[in-house]
């Protein structure tokens, strides 16, 4: 199968899952509201120690998705959107990991993390929009 055929199949599969992807984005918004309360409270954050494991799972899945996008799409907008998603998830994990390693809680860093997750949500919506436009 040629790259163009894989690309068409990828887009078709992506768009076949559009409602599931939208549901995932909506769940991410709910999770971000939950995380904003966790990140605003040092004690609550300390109790949610498995967050790093959860973030690692998400990042690994997004890196796999990024690999497919790099291989199949020449469109700079799609590649940069995917790069932003992965980079922002890495930033979220890095900030939270730093807290667990150093035990130093920085409120401004945690507030910024909530905004970074909002940026991820916007990028995920943008990716869905771009895929719909070319599919």
Model confidence over 62-80: pLDDT tens digits? 999 999 999 999 999 999 9
CA-based nearest residue to 31, from 125, 118, 122: 118
| Contacts of residue 35, Cβ cutoff 8 Å, sequence gap at least 6 | 113, 114, 117
Model confidence over 22-74: pLDDT tens digits? 999 999 999 999 999 999 999 999 999 899 999 999 999 999 999 999 999 99
| Contacts of residue 46, Cβ cutoff 8 Å, sequence gap at least 6 | none
pTM (predicted TM-score): 0.93
Query: Alpha carbon of 50 to those of 35, 63, 67, 103: distances in Å?
Result: 13, 20, 26, 15
Pick the CATH number of 3-134 from 1.20.120, 1.20.5, 1.10.287, 3.30.1380: 1.20.120
């Amino acid at each position: 199968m040629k790259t163009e055929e894989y690309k068409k199949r990828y887009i078709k599969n992506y768009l076949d899952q559009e409602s599931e992807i939208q549901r995932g984005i909506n769940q991410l918004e709910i999770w971000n509201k939950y995380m904003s309360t966790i990140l605003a409270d040092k004690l609550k954050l300390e109790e949610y120690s498995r967050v790093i494991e959860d973030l690692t799972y998400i990042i690994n899945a997004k890196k796999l998705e990024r690999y497919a996008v790099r291989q199949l799409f020449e469109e700079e907008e799609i590649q940069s959107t995917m790069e932003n998603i992965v980079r922002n998830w890495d930033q979220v994990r890095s900030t939270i990991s730093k807290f667990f390693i150093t035990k130093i809680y920085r409120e401004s860093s945690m507030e910024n993390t909530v905004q970074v997750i909002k940026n991820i949500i916007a990028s995920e919506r943008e990716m869905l929009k771009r895929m719909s436009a070319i599919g």
